[in-house]
Amino acid sequence: MDRPAAANPATARDIILEIVRNMREGLEPLHYSTLPPAIFHIFLHPSDMERLRGILPRILDEARRALDAELESLNKASLGERLKLARHNGPKAVAPEGGWQIRILENTDEDVEPGDIAISSELALPAKDELGSGSMTKRIATRRMSGVESTKQTYDAAPAAPVADAAAFAVIEYEDSSGHKTYRMTKDEIVVGRGGRDYWTDIKLETLPDVSREHFRLRRDPASGQFFLKDLSQLGTTIDGAKAPSSIALEGGEKRDRNLEAPVPATARIGLAGVVFLDFRSTANG
pLDDT single digits (tens) 42-92: 989 999 999 999 999 999 999 999 999 999 998 986 545 555 554 556 788
CB 153 within 8 A of CB 140: yes
State pTM to two decimals.
Answer: 0.56
Question: What is the percent of the chain where pLDDT is above 70?
Answer: 84
Q: Which pLDDT does position 6 carry in this prediction?
A: 44
* CATH class for the region spanning 165-282: mainly beta
Distances (CA, A) of 57 to 53, 177, 276, 282: 9, 19, 28, 42
- Residue 194: CB atoms within 10 Å: 23
Q: Which residue has the higher pLDDT, 58 or 138?
A: 58
187 vs 219: CA distance, rounded Å: 9
Q: Where are the domains of the chain?
A: 4-157, 165-282
pLDDT mean across residues, the chain: 84
Q: Is 4-157's fold the same as 165-282's?
A: no
Pick the CATH number of 4-157 from 3.30.420, 3.30.519, 1.10.10, 3.30.2320: 3.30.2320
pLDDT, tens digit, for every residue of 20-40? 999 999 998 888 889 999 989
Model pLDDT for residues 223-250, shown as the tens digit of each residue = 999 999 999 999 999 999 999 999 999 8
The tens digit of pLDDT for each residue in 261-283 reads 999 999 999 999 999 999 999 99
- Taking alpha carbons only, the member of 199, 207, 197, 179 closest to residue 272 is 207
CA distance 223 to 233: 28
